[in-house]
Amino acid sequence: MTPVEVVLLVFVVATALATALLRDVLASIIAFAAYSLGVAVVWLLLRAPDVGLTEAAVGAGVTTVLFLLTIAKTVRPPGDELFVDVNLPALGVSGLLVAALATTLTALPPVGSASTPVATSRVTNYYLENAYPETGVENAVTAVLAAYRGFDTLGEAVVVFAALVGLLVVLDREVLA
């Protein structure tokens, strides 16, 4: 791992913990927005810009605005505590789950390695060899997203569009109220 990846991983884990443990709802929403932006950058580093863009738009953008509108309509609970009380059994179960999942990390190939099953797959080779002749698109990733996986990409676009429409409906209702 590069130093940038380590810092990003620490940032994502820290903001996830802050989101779960902060008692102040506004601070928790801000931590969630930072977490979502961190995850979007992770997707960019993993060379999945379409997923990163969706995460940034829906996770950090639309969801954060909806959360902020929600707390604007609610009352803050009394108390001066910054963090909530931790449920130790739940924390223990979560820790065990994370530890179990972490044991599988060594089985993953390095990101970008030429010897991964995906890179040596006959399907990957087919896309790389036939993307331009079959679609006329010079970029193989764009050809796969727009032509071969067009319905999946359309579904992602519908999700982003639906989130935007939902946000506009809520904001319009807020302006009229």
Q: At 23, is the secondary structure helix, strand, or coil?
A: coil
pLDDT of residue 148: 82
- Evaluate if residue 176 carries a pLDDT over 70: no
pLDDT digits (tens, 9 = 90+) for 84-112: 677 888 889 989 999 999 999 888 888 77
Higher pLDDT, 74 or 4: 4
Q: Which two tokens stand for residue 87?
A: 């449920």
* Residues 41-91 pLDDT 10s: 998 888 778 788 888 888 888 888 888 888 787 766 666 665 667 788 888
Return the number of other C-beta atoms located less than 10 Å from residue 154's C-beta: 11
Q: What are phi and psi of 157, to 5 degrees?
A: -65, -35
Which pTM was predicted? 0.59
SS (H, E, C) 40-96: HHHHHHCCCHHHHHHHHHHHHHHHHHHHHHHHHCCCCCCCCCCECCCCHHHHHHHHH
Dihedral of alpha carbons 26, 32, 34, 37, sign:
negative
Residue 98 vs residues 25, 64, 89, 105, 147: alpha-carbon distances, Å: 25, 26, 14, 11, 37
Residues 15-38 pLDDT 10s? 999 998 887 888 899 999 999 999
> φ and ψ at 25, to 5 degrees?
-65, -40
Please spell the DSSP secondary structure of 127-138, one letter per residue: HHHHHHHHH--S
pLDDT digits (tens, 9 = 90+) for 108-161: 888 778 888 888 889 888 988 888 898 888 888 788 877 888 888 888 888 888
Closest among 9, 58, 19 to 156, alpha carbons compared? 58
